[in-house]
Structure 1
Amino acid sequence: MKKIAVITGAGSGIGLALTNELLFEYSQLLVIAFCRNKDNLLPLKNRYKDRLLIRQVDFNHNAAFASVKRFLENYQQVDYLVHCAGLVSPIVKLSSLNLDDWRKNHKVNLEMPLLITQLCIIKFNRSRVLFLTSDHPITPVTGASAYCISKAGINTLTDCFRQEVTANIAVFTSVAPGNVDTPMQAEIRQASSDVLPLSDVLREMHGENKLLTTALVAKYLKELLMSVSRTSFGTRSWNLLKDINEPYHFTHISETREPIVQTDSALLLQRKMSGEVSTFGSVQYEKRRQVFNKAVSKYPIMIVTPKSVHDIIEVIKFANKVSLPISIKGGGHGIKGAAIVDGGVVLDMANFQDISLSADGRHVSVGAGVKNKHLDHFLSRINKVVPLGTCPDVGVIGATLGGGIGFLSRKHGLSCDNVTRFDIIMADGKLLKVTPHKHPDLYWALRGCGGGQFGVVVSIEFALHPAPEFVEGGTIAWPISEAKNILKAYSHAVLEGPKSQFLYAYIAHSVPHKANISIMGFSESRSHGLKTVSSWREGATVSIDRKQYIECQSNNYESGLGLYWQHGIIQGELTDKFIDILLACYKECPDDSGGIMLDPLCGAIQDKGTNETAFIHRNASFICSITGLTKQNQGKELVAAWVQDTYKRLTPFFNGYAYQNYDMGEESAVIEYFGQHTEKLIAMKKRYDPNLRFVGSLQAHISPVL
């Protein structure tokens, strides 16, 4: 038996697009289309013949319900009922609202959905009912009060049906699709801004192609109707701007603390800023929500690209007003994609590209959108350096807040150890200049706390160092059969070697017969250079040379991959047992899909005491990273399982802590990042960001102050 879908408002807009989508995708589906004007449906009728039944009816007419009833009497079942019919008029202020116009609006938007659903209840059998609504819960929009109140009624009507009708009969939900380019939207855009202030913003959005297309929304509605489980479908309401995880797939996000977004305010935010507000469906939104790890896909409500401190303050005011979380994106390299917050506001700092020298040439100020490669190239022109990480596309500020480890760290300390000032906008919108003498508690915390925990860091000032005069850099590799001997020599070199030498050890993803153990090195030592390293064992493949420091900082990191990552911190030497288990784990890795890397610490990193900054790894020796790699997420389950199993087997050799810049995700306890500083940092978070406006690891076990 064919299944039957009943769609109201099928003659235009989302209803028409959904009718087309369902007929195209499901050859065994019969669609009954109720519409006021059937002209747009005739091409579909010609194509799909008897699979589309059209009933032309005006829901505002007194005989509308009787007409629908007579038509549906011919059918014993209704598997899907979708209410798309809607009326936005009258667009007037409440003081001018005519009662007849009010009643017409509510008859179309509220009364007919109720009556048709009542009529179909005896025809339901494990059916699905979808009410198209607006932002959930509906919020008032000046000049559109009748529409807003009717849609608020639809949300309540959905909840009431959900309470009174068992799931064996039907499951009910409502869906807010966002701002869609429909005939109803066109009517709104024609309204005077004196009556409907929102119309100005919607006209701008339309002119900039920022409205969603009906075809795109129809694809998501189709997926919700046909593919999402009945339990998920019927136990909540949906908002497409928040709930979409992948194209045509929905994420089952937590039901708690869903923000109430005031549509009027959200859309008017753009008018208060010189930067750009990107929303779902736009090219810029899709571009800016991407992060380095392609295994991560998140959907914020909006992504804001500010151009000024004023813009950032306006965004914070907006987020405070509607209780939305804020995340901050610099380079977007965090392994768990913490720069993008689902269902919140992302501040993309890409426009903050300023780099400037102090008058005495001893310090450099760096904007929040600057990446390692930008600062390295700027400083190379004046023969100066700041200790930075080795990945060119990592954001300077994000890496610095978590610590910042790179080629110069054993000589000059972490990136955060070289900060002389932070400029930060707090949750109350105030701009603070944080130095050792001004706000010293924040100065302590920002050196190692990671991410945007306390506010928006718009710039950082670093102390400068002379660039190295002599640099030897490159990679030395041996067959994997030499790995145990190389790793023992490597352990000794890190623990006992000169501060002017920095060595990574890694086994890159490869097929087993081509696997190597490699040392990627940087050395300023003429007597203990990388040629000394190449003599650790015979059979080395050597690719080292004398270089400029900037050349060593230009490493290429493979992009466009899904990453699955775990790591641990090692104190002391790499023991024989640790090395044996590490190599055994690597042998079990799926071909060409994983690797293991060791970052060195020690040297000048240990010159500061464990309590001088929030960075807790002063006494550690190595960071061990286990990385799984996939293309287009192919085979991700197998690769992710290998990462987790390897991490579990190596955990006894780790000290129980985690490096903040190698984020382990929300499942990790705060104490893993902050150790003995946890209590102090949580107290500071509560004091400076009581409503937990800025997302970060600190808030995992904190309740907001209401």
Structure 2
Amino acid sequence: MMRQKIAVITGAGSGIGLALTNKFLSMDAETLVVALCRQSSKLETLYERFEPRLVIEHIDFNHKTAPNSIKQALDKYDHVDFLVHCAGLVAPLKRIHSIDYEKWCTTQRVNIDIPFFITKLCLNKFKHSRVLYLTSDQPVSAVEGASAYCVSKAAVNMMCDCFKQEITDEIAAFATVAPGNVDTPMQKKIRQVSSDILPMSAFLKDMHKENKLLPPHLVAEYLWQLLNRINLKTFGTTNWNLLQSINEGPLPPVNVNSINLATIDNSDVRYLQDKLAGDVWGAGSKEYTLRRHVFNQAISHFPSVIIVPQSEADIVNTIDFANRQNLQISVKGSGHGVTGAAVINGGIVIDMSTFQSIELCAGGESVRVGSGVKNRNLDHFLSQHNKVVPLGTCPDVGVVGATLGGGIGFLSRKHGLSCDNVLAFNLITSDGQRRVVDSSEHSELFWALRGGGGSQFGVITHITFVLHPAPAYIEGGVVEWPIHKAKGILNQYSDAVLHGPRTQFLYAYIARSTAHEAKISIMGFSEDPDTSLHNIARWETDADISITHKQYIECQSNEYEQGHALYWRNGIIEGGLTQEFIATLLRCFQSCPDNTAGIMLDPLCGAIQDVEADETAFIHRNASFVCSITAVTPPGQDIAEVTEWVNQTYERLSSFFNGHAYQNYDMGKDCPLACYFGQHTERLIAMKKKFDPDLRFAGTLQRHLQ
């Protein structure tokens, strides 16, 4: 059983501390929050929602009994994973010559002495823990009229540095953070002071009037990400500053201009639940925690709410709600997209997992598939009818998501991409209209949905595919050689892809491994006895052969590693693999950190090239290979070294690419649209503006337009 995480937050009764308490409770259903506060009236609502995961300890830090009370409160716990010091006094706000000594001491006691006491008390409870002190801009400078506060915050910075010097990361990492000007009760007190005493109060009054003060929930989002998403070493070696980070990174989801956080309250959730037959999962529930996760464990996004519709009517009502609340929508099938785009930060996720229907149509010549169906589900269903649809080779990938971006698999060289085999889409657009999209109805959308990638224009509820007879003869498996054989293998592989039969499909890859165990591998599929995969084993000596006669469904049941963090870059190659490309690729792999990354080549050609370049939104009709450079690491591991290798390898190989990338291997917001859509970019943008004018549906087109 996983150990429960414990977060101790001081000053949890108001302002940033209250918002951060809410954030911790909402984002992880397994975390216990110990809230240390002087008054708790504003915590009562949270207590009603999250009890018993919220423990409220009433402690006045200025009272002489505070140390004993704190010790009694924390002695109940044998470990503390997060300690965040939000409690603080800004008074006395007076010129230094008129400050009462006792009040000066009170400020220092609350702002520095008690944080020191609590931190020291928790040292034997820490293990790879994180301690965060709220302070002011770095370095702290004197502010006229606020000397007691400034001195205490300067002391906090020094105290943090002292802990860093003497305490190792194995125990805890320490950091300070400057949250900026935040609209809190403390800020309100500052604004009420005469500008003759505190000149800054006039500036803050103006900021308040112009609505430029940061909301506490935005600061809490930033702090939560610091504590949970940044690796331990980076966390403890940086002086964090919210406003600077908004402008420069390192936490992309925090954007003060566009963020839509905590905009759905309990009454909205109840309203939605009353309107829908399906489920509505808000932050803090176990279902929310489970459903917000995606395949790539490097991604951790937090939507405002997750909807699991039971019907098309539920989807229409959800879109209507999003339109009225001005919230963006992402659509989740299996969540296999590398960038985690299926789960949007701060918006609505429509989880289509209940749309599991599969039915034969037109006397068994076509099949209608629900958008929650995965490759394995459809393959198993069709195997009972001796039929196939060209699908990708990963069993857990969603059929709809892969199809929208293209869809490459074992049958693609014979029957084309998944999107080439679509007869019709059932689509609900941002105006709530249900549309059947095919070659005769909404033909513009039919063009765009075949290769445009993601749910760019609405929610796909079903896709109808043309069916093909299942292969009568199957040979499949893997052939491997030691890495020093790779040059000859890749030469042969290039020729096989360009000139080999359409009944044969071959992946080439160098999997992650140690340098001395590295192999060049060919994963193959053939339905022609005359082009046996055993012939491939003769390309070079010392082959390790794992090839058998199989049912097609067995070839489609490859096992893919689960539970890893991924970082992915890819490019498109036209023509054959040149000697220079092969040599460069192998030199790149030699510098790869052990057991962290690999390189893969997807073959194209064949029937994929039978479709004209302008017939669908998929632009890679003249291409021969997709080359992917992929980092694969355990979640939470520092990936700086391996991502640097991926980026450097991509740069070194880019001169061999044609400037494009495969849209199903989305590389994120830094990759320009033309990289995916080439000559079709402007046409797709125009269609996005037409069918989704408010940019309701998240995706690559929305990122560009926004």
User: Fold conserved (TM > 0.5)?
Assistant: yes
Which of 538, 543, 549 aligns to 1:540? It is 543
Query: Gapped runs of 5+ residues in structure 1?
Result: 22-30, 55-68, 82-117, 129-150, 180-215, 238-244
Tell me what 1:676 maps to: 679
Scaled by the length of structure 1, what TM-score is found?
Answer: 0.72
User: What is the distance in 1 between the residues matched to 2:585 and 2:578?
Assistant: 11
Whether 1:638 aligns to 2:675 is: no
Q: Does 1:175 align with 2:200?
A: no
| Equivalent position to 2:400, from 388, 397, 405 | 397
- Return the alpha-carbon distance in structure 2 between the equivalents of residues 700 and 622 of structure 1: 27
Percent of aligned positions with the same letter in both sequences?
48
What is the 5 A alignment of 1:293-692?
293-692=296-695
With over 3 angstroms needed to count, the CA separation of the structure-2 counterparts of 1:165 and 1:295, relative to structure 1, is farther
- 5+ residue gaps, structure 2, are 1-8, 26-35, 45-55, 74-99, 113-142, 154-181, 193-198, 205-211
The Cα of 1:341 is off from its aligned counterpart by: 1.0
Alignment pair present for 1:256 and 2:287: no
**1:560, distance to aligned residue in structure 2 (A):** 0.8
Aligned match of 1:123: 148
| 8 Å contact from structure 2 (residues 107, 152) kept in 1 | no
Return the offset for 1:48. 3.7
Post-superposition offset of 1:614: 0.4
Provide the residue aligned with 2:170 in structure 1: none
| SS class of match (1:527) | helix
Q: For 1:398 and 1:574, how far apart are their aligned partners in 2?
A: 29
Q: Which residue pairs with 1:137 in the alignment?
A: none
Deviations 1:629-672 (A, max 9, x none): 11123241111011001000000000000111010111111111
**Aligned partners of 1:6 and 1:80 also within 8 Å:** no
CA, structure 1 residues 7+466, in 2 after alignment: closer, same or farther (shift >3 Å)? Answer: closer
1:33 aligns with 2:38: yes
Number of residue pairs the alignment of both structures matches: 563
Match of 2:201 among 164, 167, 170: 164
Task: Give the Cα separation in 1 of the matches to 2:218 and 2:258.
Answer: 20
**1:467 is matched by which residue type in structure 2?**
A
In 1, the alpha carbon distance for the partners of 2:102 and 2:380 equals 73
Change (3 A) 1:678 1:34: closer
AA matched with 2:609: Q
Give the distance between the partners of 2:202 and 2:147, measured in 1 at CA.
11
Q: Which amino acid aligns with 2:521?
A: S
Instruction: Give distance in 2, aligned partners of 1:672 and 1:465.
Output: 32
Going from structure 1 to structure 2, the CA distance change for 1:47 and 1:605 (only over 3 Å counts) comes to same
Cα distance between partner residues in 2 of 1:655 and 1:236: 35
2:293 aligns with 290
2:113 is equivalent to residue 75 of structure 1: no
Relative to 1, partners in 2 of residues 1:173 and 1:159: Cα closer, same or farther, differing over 3 Å? farther
Structure 2 counterpart of 1:699, from 683, 702, 705? 702
State the partner residue of 1:265.
268
Shift of 1:296: 1.1
Instruction: State the distance in 1 between where 2:528 and 2:490 align.
Output: 21
How does the TM-score come out when normalised to structure 2? Answer: 0.72
Task: Provide the C-alpha distance between the structure 2 equivalents of 1:537 and 1:460, rounded to a whole number of angstroms.
Answer: 43
SS at match of 1:505: strand
Query: Shift of residue 254 of structure 1?
Result: 1.4
For the residues of structure 1 that align with 2:270 and 2:252, how far apart are their CA atoms?
25
1:435 to 1:40, Cα distance in 2 relative to 1, 3 A: closer
Q: Which amino acid in 1 is paired with 2:546? A: S
Mapped contact 1:421–1:435 kept (Cα < 8 A): yes
Question: Is residue 49 from structure 1 mapped to residue 74 from structure 2 by the alignment?
Answer: no
CA separation in 1, counterparts of 2:543 and 2:402?
A: 33
Shift in alpha-carbon separation, 1:367–1:154, aligned structure 2, 3 A: farther
Distance 2:555 2:277 in 1: 38
8 A Cα contact 1:506 1:517, kept in partner: yes
Give per-residue Cα distances to partners, 1:310-338, cap 9 Å, x unaligned: 11111111111111111111111111111
- Counterpart CA distance in 1 for 2:389 and 2:218 is 48
Q: How far 1:259 sits from its partner (Å)?
A: 3.4
Separation of aligned partners in 1, 2:217 and 2:567: 33
Please say which of residues 609-618 and 692-701 is displaced more in the overlay. 692-701
User: 1: distance between equivalents of 2:621 and 2:696?
Assistant: 30
Cα pair distance change 1:655/1:251, threshold 3 Å: closer
CA distance in structure 1 between the aligned counterparts of 2:544 and 2:237, rounded to whole angstroms: 53
CA distance in 2, matches of 1:282, 1:466: 45
CA contact (8 A) 1:228 1:250 kept: no
Partner of 1:111: none
Give distance in 2, aligned partners of 1:532 and 1:159. Answer: 80
Separation in structure 1 between the aligned mates of residue 57 and residue 71 of structure 2, nearest angstrom: 13
